[in-house]
Structure 1
Amino acid sequence: MALLFLKQKLFPGRPPQSTQPSYRKLLLATGEDDDSDTLTNGNGSMDHDMEAQQCRSYRTFRAPSPSSNYDAESTSSNTRSRINPRIVSDAILGLSDGLTVPFALSAGLSALGNTKVVVLGGLAELAAGAISMGLGGYVGAKSEAESYQTTIRETTELIDSSPAETAGIVHDIFAAHGVPDDAIAPINASLHASPDRLREFLIHFHHKESEPDCNQAWTSAITLALGYFIGGFIPLIPYFVVQKVFVALYCSVAVMAVTLLVFGYIKTGVVRGWVGKENILAGVRGGIQMVVVGGVAAGAAIGLVRLINGDS
């Protein structure tokens, strides 16, 4: 004890060494620094070099490694990945028309009192309607692609013929967002130094168009056609099972009421979201709206067929 007391008085700067192994690490030290600054004494105990620890810059969190950056980017990209909104829009449009138009037709044909007529007429309308919807989607997507190519051609001609006008357009785009003129000038010069970059900028921010997918025409055609056929086949199912036409009609009405309600709710949930009281109420309203639309269409078809058949 006396020797320890004298040692502390003579060497106050050095702390007394513990006879027990010390495996304690500083709370904020990184694992790499711990390995490089650890010394082993003759007794086998682990003591940190205090001077190296004082010079060390501690960090509460480790610096991300390249692999962790890659994982974070891939994870964030996966969480942000969503279905193409154009596909969702085409599917909703195809199902909406398929659930209402063939249902109204089958309900109207039921007034004739012949199940075979309802089935044949419904299948014929399904085939014609699906082909028509598919062709409409294909032609519409092709028109969008042609419009985009026309925009590229006109923008290229504008860049070649009137640099002053393109400079004014770029200036107006940034000035509308409150960017000062002294900051717009170098940006304008940088864009005009590359015609390709200037053309891309004008297409995206002036014309507000984006390059369509090369397969968008076929995707829209198939999505619309399948959506229409699937939606229109549902009200015909009872007519394949039940022989009496009016019983099949009532079954079809019940099936379509549930289907339209569910579809309206799902359609609204896809567009607005699923969580929250407002979204749930909006989904219920969307389902009721689809039921009302389908019911009005079916009632109008039945009344029209009865009116024409009665007159004949």
Structure 2
Amino acid sequence: MSGSAEAHHRHRDVTGGWLRPSVFGAMDGLVSNFALIAGVAGGTANTKVIALGGVAGLAAGALSMAGGEYVSVASQRELAQAEIAVERRELARHPEDELAELAQTFVDKGVAPDLAAEVARQISRDPEHALEVHSRAELGVAPGDLPSPVVAAVSSFLSFGLGALLPLLPYLFGAEHLGWSAGVSGVALFAAGALVSAVTARSWWYSGLRQLLVGVVAAGVTFGVGNLVGMTGL
């Protein structure tokens, strides 16, 4: 019965997981390195200098993203673990109070008091199960479902590196004009935005154009800055 009830629809993962750092990393790598390359190209026609700037931007950005994600997710995980430990101690020291609290949680969701008390009592038979239910209800997380800082860091590093590599590729293959990098970047920006629409409610063309516009504006501004600096000789 329960299986057939769920057969008519499925939900996508909305909790983030690996998707958020991967998507953010790829988008950031593509936009930031395209903008960086455009800025350097605005100030000099030396393709070796432009390529060097792109390589440095890729390396620095990927490492920065990975380090930032690791520290951020590790801090979030440690905070959640500390609060889960508090909940574990409370379950051990004040089981009756925690039982009443859990029952009240079900009552607040519309369950009849007697039934809520019985459900809470049955859940509390297993201390680990009770801890998971309490943690989800009070903290929004479960002990065995915490994000991995290593996964977040690696996902960010690889995705940023891939995104940052695309606008750099034409110069690595001998391109002498920014137009080649702009073309590759424009296609990649639109494709990346369209791909993201697969996990959102937006149409593929809207997401693609939106991402393309963000990249074009960023590159246009930095190109202008680089051109201004190049003309003034700073």
* Aligned equivalents of 1:213, 1:206: Cα separation in 2: 15
Give 5+ residue unaligned stretches, structure 1: 1-71, 273-278
In structure 2, what is the equivalent of residue 257 of structure 1?
Answer: 186
Q: CA deviation at 1:283?
A: 1.2
Q: Paired residue for 1:104, among 24, 28, 35?
A: 35
Distance across 2 between alignment mates of 1:193 and 1:236: 59
Name the CA shift for 1:196/1:212 in 2 (closer, same or farther; >3 Å). Answer: closer
The higher relative CO (CA closer than 8 Å, separation ≥ 6) is in: 2
- List aligned pairs for 1:185-200, cutoff 5 A: 185-200=117-132
Deviation at 1:176, TM superposition (A): 2.1
Question: How many Å apart are 1:309 and its aligned residue?
Answer: 3.2
C-alpha distance in structure 1 between counterparts of 2:217 and 2:12, whole Å: 39
Matches within 5 A, 1:188-267: 188-211=120-143, 216-244=148-176, 248-267=177-196
Over aligned residue pairs, what C-alpha RMSD do you find? 2.7
Distance 1:223 1:300 in 2: 29
Aligned to 1:157: 89
Aligned-partner residue type, residue 303 of structure 1: G
Amino acid across the alignment from 1:294: G
Q: What residue is the counterpart of 2:212 in the other structure?
A: 291
TM-score by length of 2: 0.84
Q: Which residue of 2 aligns with 1:117?
A: 49
How far apart are residue 153 of structure 1 and its match? Answer: 1.1
How far apart, CA to CA, are the structure 1 residues paired with 2:38 and 2:144? 40
Give the aligned residue type for 2:195: I
- Cα 1:251–1:88 shift into 2, 3 Å: same
Whether contact under 8 Å (1:96, 1:231) holds in the other structure is yes
State the secondary structure of the residue aligned to 2:111.
coil
The 3-state SS of whatever aligns with 1:113 is coil
Contact kept? 1:238, 1:251, Cα under 8 Å: yes
Aligned residues of 1:130 and 1:224 also touching (Cα < 8 A) = yes
Give a deviation string over 1:16-53, Cα, whole Å, max 9, x none.
xxxxxxxxxxxxxxxxxxxxxxxxxxxxxxxxxxxxxx
User: Is the alpha carbon distance of 1:190 and 1:294 closer, same or farther for their aligned partners in structure 2, counting shifts above 3 Å?
Assistant: same
Please state how far the C-alpha of 1:107 moved relative to its aligned partner: 0.3
Q: CA deviation at 1:160?
A: 3.5
Q: How does 1:12-31 map to 2 (within 5 A)?
A: none
Provide the C-alpha distance between the structure 2 equivalents of 1:299 and 1:212, rounded to a whole number of angstroms.
Answer: 46
1: distance between equivalents of 2:68 and 2:24?
12
Instruction: Give % identity.
Output: 28
Query: 1:244-282 CA deviation, whole Å, 9 max, x = no partner?
Result: 3xxx2011112111111111001111x13xxxxxx6x62
Counterpart of 1:129 in structure 2: which amino acid?
Answer: G
**What is the aligned partner in structure 2 of residue 132 from structure 1?**
64
Number of residue pairs the alignment of both structures matches: 224
Shift of 1:164: 5.0
Structure 1 or 2, whichever has the larger Rg, is 1
Q: Within 2, Cα distance between the matches of 1:196 and 1:213?
A: 13
The answer (yes or no) to whether the contact 2:132–2:143 under 8 Å persists in 1 is: no
Change (3 A) 1:207 1:80: closer
The correspondence for 1:282, drawn from 169, 190, 203, is: 203
Q: Is the 8 A contact 1:169 1:206 kept in 2?
A: no
Aligned match of 2:221 = 300
SS of structure 1 residue aligned to 2:18? helix
Asked if the contact 1:173–1:206 (Cα under 8 Å) also holds between the matched residues in 2, the reply is: no
State the 1:175 CA deviation. Answer: 1.2
Contact kept? 1:145, 1:212, Cα under 8 Å: no
What is the CA-CA distance between 1:296 and the residue it aligns to?
0.8
Greater helix content? 2
Q: Quote the offset at 1:124 in angstroms.
A: 0.9
TM norm structure 1: 0.64
